[in-house]
Structure 1
Amino acid sequence: MKIDLLIAEDDICLNDLVASSLTDEYLVSQAYNLEQAKALCDKSQFSVIVLDYHFPDGDGVELIHHVKKQGNSPIIVFLSASEELDTKMNAFNAGAADWIDKRSFIPPLLLIKIKKALANRQEFDALKEAEQQANTAVFSAMSDSFMWGNTARAIQGCLSCTNYNEFLVHIFSYLQSLELTASVAYSENSQISYWDSPYARACGMEEDLFKLVMQKDERIINAGRRYFFKDSYICILIKNMPEDEVRKGQILDVVAAYIECANHQVNMLNQEYVKQLYFKKIAFELDDLQQKMGLFTEQTQQIQSHQSLKFFEIFSQLELTNDEESKLTEVTDDTLMKFEELAYSHVNIINSLNNVIKDFKRQLS
């Protein structure tokens, strides 16, 4: 495919000579004054302009400025007989790639200089593109590093949450650090809670969407710019997923990793809650057992005292010989002693149980 080239030269013969030498390799247009050149540049975007410096209606630098205002940057090769240094400096400062003295001009020289300028432009464009790609890669790597570092710290903080309120505040803080607007639903002891912020519950459409999504098997569900991230015990709704594919990919990766940690922590909080309920029930049962053991000890002591009095009352009513009374007293004392030993053993058991209960309750607290 031929490259578009414009020759702007007020010398008609020279213009035609240059055109004839370039026609085989370029798609040539010709202008014989500055206004014609500007009009052609308004209609077409030329890759190369062979340009005289002095025109009856202006100078070649004007054409360069005119083209640049349109956002074009063609290769400019001046073909001029001017020997003034300021003229040449103006040309190069305006963006000229080369300068050929019109008085010693030969077509092959122009052809070589144009090809060299095109090769330099291609090399420059390739370097510029490579630089842009490198900058993009570096920026993306730095962005990835920041997001993963931020997520690693968020995961560490999430695992240290000890209650549901702290957990909820932590999630919204992490999502806010990613500049995401979100809602959160999680299973709190088999009951689903829906939140738009740590302090405001979600309701209406958000709650209905959560209920539908949490019935599905997919872990990531896309609904336009809304994305649902879900696991067994938690679901996060991102309401403003970026349209930029790189940024979106980063968020998909880090939030998917974070939600696994969050799901684990919700499960741990649920287990801890059930365990605390179980321990509270045990503590209540132990308190009740202590009360019953105390009452049993008191009743045992009362029975012992009552039986001792009964024995003495019976002795006083019986008419016994000294020998009979001595033997009966011996038997009675032996019986009371065994009963007292039994009661003492019972008290020791009660005290041991009390110590065990106190230690267990201390461990619970």
Structure 2
Amino acid sequence: MTVSVLIVEDDESVCDLLVLSLGQGYQTAVAHSIAQGQARLDKSHFDVVLLDYHLPDGEGVIISEQLKSRAERPIVIFLSASKDLDKKMAAFNSGAIDWIDKTQCAPTMLNLKLEQALKFRAKYRQIAQAEQASTEAVYVAMSDSFVWGHTARAIRSCLTTHSISGFLNAIFHYLSELNLLAAIAINENKGLTIWDSPEEAATGLEQEVMCLAMQKGDRILKIGRRYFFQTENISMLIKNIPDDEVKQGQLIDVLTAYVECAEHHLLSINQNMVKQLYFSKVSEALDLVKFRMHEFNKETNHIQNQQSWLFFEVFNKLQLTDDEEKSLTEVTDSTLMKFEEMALEHFKIVHDLEEVMAQFKKHVG
């Protein structure tokens, strides 16, 4: 690989010596002032800059300082005969990695210095790349942790809902916190409904897209920039999945897990709705039986009162003998006993029904 070198030196003889000293694999360019050096650097990229400290239009640290802000910064090595420690410190502070004494600049030393500098830069780049990869991995891990933790809390919130409206609210709230827009279709005991929000039903194009996607039967389906997630009884059409592949994969994973949990809970809500409807019907039937029993008891009491008054009148008017009165009393008591037995049978039926309901609720609830 050819290494490009810019020599910024005002002494032409030193420039010629440096060009001749560099071995094969080096491509050189020359500048004799700060202005010429800056112009060269603006037009072309160089791997190495050999820089004199004292130049006709200023000190070489001006160039070195300017190069510090570049993303692809070249290696800077100063060449100077100066013994001034402050100048050496200024050179290193400006970003230089070495200082070569001009008076002792043998070709072998120059080539050795350049080889060491290039190896150092290669290792530095490897470390920088590893550091960047590590930072990205940590960021992805932290992001995954946050999104999965958020999804776990959202699943727990969804599982505590007891109605379809609460169920929809929980799902739309979760999606809004992920900055996602969606249409949601749910099966409410064989009745399919499609929603754009907990209060607004989906219509037009959104409804058509959802219905077509559901017909395909895929668990996950990509439709342009949209993603479709489906289980047996719930479907979600996400309208704005981000383009970033890492973020996209992350969201697909959490949404797949979430919709599976939501499916399980929707079945539970639907089953509870059926049970509540059944309980309501049975309770209505029990209330009707109780009402009929109450009416029957009123009629029975009325008949008993009528019979008592009638017998009293009969006894007074007929002037029965003791044997006749005894016989009539027995017939009357027998009739009243039959009414009481009928009433007890009705009460037993109601009691048995209530026992059955209590056992049923205990079993299914």
TM-score by length of 2: 0.86
- 1:342 lines up with 2:338 in the alignment: yes
Q: In the alignment, is the contact (CA less than 8 A) between 1:53 and 1:79 conserved in 2? A: yes
Deviations 1:232-277 (A, max 9, x none): 2212222221111111111111111111111122222222222222
Q: In the alignment, is the contact (CA less than 8 A) between 1:226 and 1:238 conserved in 2? A: yes
Distance in 1, Cα, partners of 2:337 & 2:260: 62
Aligned alpha-carbon RMSD (Å): 3.2
Alignment of 1:179-194 (within 5 A): 179-194=179-194
Q: In the alignment, is the contact (CA less than 8 A) between 1:304 and 1:339 conserved in 2? A: no
SS of 1:176 mapped into structure 2: helix
Deviations 1:133-156 (A, max 9, x none): 122111211111111111111111
- Residue 117 of structure 1: aligned partner: 117
Deviation at 1:306, TM superposition (A): 7.6
Q: In the alignment, is the contact (CA less than 8 A) between 1:41 and 1:67 conserved in 2? A: no
Distance in 1, Cα, partners of 2:67 & 2:132: 25
Distance in 2, Cα, partners of 1:70 & 1:268: 62
Call closer, same or farther: CA 1:12–1:286 in 2, change over 3 Å: same
- Residue 245 of structure 1: aligned partner: 245
Q: In the alignment, is the contact (CA less than 8 A) between 1:80 and 1:102 conserved in 2? A: yes
Of stretches 204-213 and 35-44 in structure 1, the one that deviates more from structure 2 is 35-44
Distance in 1, Cα, partners of 2:302 & 2:67: 117
Identical positions, percent: 41
Distance in 1, Cα, partners of 2:249 & 2:80: 56
Q: In the alignment, is the contact (CA less than 8 A) between 2:80 and 2:102 conserved in 1? A: yes
Call closer, same or farther: CA 1:86–1:276 in 2, change over 3 Å: same
Of stretches 337-346 and 47-56 in structure 1, the one that deviates more from structure 2 is 337-346
Deviation at 1:333, TM superposition (A): 5.2
Q: Which amino acid aligns with 2:340?
A: Y
Distance in 2, Cα, partners of 1:313 & 1:66: 132
Distance in 2, Cα, partners of 1:58 & 1:305: 130
Alignment of 1:295-314 (within 5 A): 295-297=295-297
Deviation at 1:41, TM superposition (A): 2.1
Deviation at 1:181, TM superposition (A): 2.1
Q: In the alignment, is the contact (CA less than 8 A) between 1:301 and 1:343 conserved in 2? A: no
Of stretches 261-270 and 150-159 in structure 1, the one that deviates more from structure 2 is 261-270
SS of 2:30 mapped into structure 1: strand
Distance in 2, Cα, partners of 1:258 & 1:70: 46
Distance in 1, Cα, partners of 2:200 & 2:79: 74
- Where does the alignment leave 5 or more consecutive residues of structure 2 unmatched? none
Of stretches 292-301 and 37-46 in structure 1, the one that deviates more from structure 2 is 292-301
Q: In the alignment, is the contact (CA less than 8 A) between 2:219 and 2:229 conserved in 1? A: yes
TM-score by length of 1: 0.86
Deviation at 1:24, TM superposition (A): 0.9
Distance in 2, Cα, partners of 1:305 & 1:57: 132
Deviations 1:40-80 (A, max 9, x none): 32332111111212222433223334545664410011111
Q: Which amino acid aligns with 1:196?
A: D
Distance in 2, Cα, partners of 1:144 & 1:158: 21
Call closer, same or farther: CA 1:67–1:254 in 2, change over 3 Å: same
Call closer, same or farther: CA 1:70–1:160 in 2, change over 3 Å: closer
Q: In the alignment, is the contact (CA less than 8 A) between 1:38 and 1:66 conserved in 2? A: no
- 1:223 lines up with 2:223 in the alignment: yes
Distance in 1, Cα, partners of 2:241 & 2:266: 25
Deviations 1:189-233 (A, max 9, x none): 322222222222322211121111121211112123221222122
Aligned positions, number: 359
Distance in 2, Cα, partners of 1:70 & 1:155: 48
SS of 2:83 mapped into structure 1: coil
Alignment of 1:157-176 (within 5 A): 157-176=157-176
Q: In the alignment, is the contact (CA less than 8 A) between 2:23 and 2:111 conserved in 1? A: no
- Residue 107 of structure 1: aligned partner: 107
Distance in 1, Cα, partners of 2:329 & 2:215: 78
Deviations 1:150-197 (A, max 9, x none): 111111111110111111111111111112222222122322222222
